[in-house]
Amino acid sequence: MLAARASPRMDGTVMVALKKGKKGSARSLAAVRREAEGCRRCPLWKHATQTVFGAGSSRAPIMLVGEQPGDAEDRAGEPFVGPAGQLLRRALSEAGIDLASVYLTNAVKHFKWTPRGKRRLHERPNHEEVMACRLWLDLEIERVRPTAIVALGATAAGALLGAGVRIGRDRRKKFTSPLAPFVTLTAHPSSILRTPDSAARARALRQLVDDLRHVAAWVHGSKHDAQP
């Protein structure tokens, strides 16, 4: 059984404590990461700098799944280090979730882009590319065994829950899934950054924070449910 533990901290955040996993599971995740470095399962590797594998503890109780690395992530080799990542970190902090409790990854591990002058513009991955990359996501889920998986945006939600889900209608719902005790979805932080009106942007950020607060409460609650 998954044993996520959560406790309030001095700084007001909730440290959702790490599960006691087998030492070997961290090594296995590292092995999967090494394998993914040479991935040629779809053509996206050809124009990307590198595979951007997930980051975080192999015992994190919460896994957040984005769409694909952006320009900054492609260069850095780490997920969510660019503007969307900064907003996500702010939302996590406001929701009281410690970053140490989170494993960050993407549905697709290579940056898909199209040139626009000197810039590399994000291009949405297609169904085949998402499906080709699903192997790595499944292996990450299997190794991390999170209590809660949160799909950020439509691509991740489609990859994890099927094409029928809708962000506006289904956000914050708990889906029954073999992937984890709690699987849910919320808006992608990039969509918040793209919202032109500042009041609407602030509202969208508050909704994201609220959704994440619910996830923290589920994970916290599941620990208490599991107590003898």
62 lines the binding site for ligand URA (CB under 6 A): no
96 lines the binding site for ligand URA (CB under 6 A): no
190 lines the binding site for ligand URA (CB under 6 A): yes
Region binding ligand URA by CB under 6 A among candidate stretches 3-11, 76-84, 179-187, 210-218: 76-84
66 lines the binding site for ligand URA (CB under 6 A): yes
Helices (H), 145-196: 154-161, 167-170, 189-194
Q: How far is the CB of 108 from ligand URA (least distance, A)?
A: 8
- Token pair of 208 as six digits: 């994201």
Region binding ligand URA by CB under 6 A among candidate stretches 73-81, 91-99, 198-206, 218-226: 73-81
Give the Cα separation of 97 and 76 in Å (integer): 24
Per-residue interface string for the shown chain with ligand URA, residues 100-129, x marking contact by CB under 6 A: ------x-----------------------
Using the Cα atoms of residue 57, residue 59, residue 65 and residue 68 in order, give the sign of their dihedral. positive
Among 56, 61, 85, 146, binds ligand URA (CB under 6 A): 85
Cβ-based burial of 156 (10 A; exposed 0-12, middle 13-18, buried ≥19): buried
3-state secondary structure of 114: strand
Residue 58: name the closest of 30, 81, 83, 35 by CA. 30
Judge whether 111 and 124 are in contact, CB under 8 Å. no
Among 54, 56, 73, 184, binds ligand URA (CB under 6 A): 73
Q: How far is CA 173 from CA 79, 126, 155, 206, in A?
A: 25, 25, 17, 17
Closer residue to ligand URA in complex, CB, 69/96: 69
Instruction: State the residue number with the nearest CB to ligand URA.
Output: 66
Q: How far is the CB of 9 from ligand URA (least distance, A)?
A: 26
Taking the chain, what is the end-to-end CA distance rounded to the nearest angstrom?
A: 13
186 lines the binding site for ligand URA (CB under 6 A): no
Residues at the interface with ligand URA (CB under 6 A) = 66-70, 73, 79-80, 82, 84-85, 106, 190
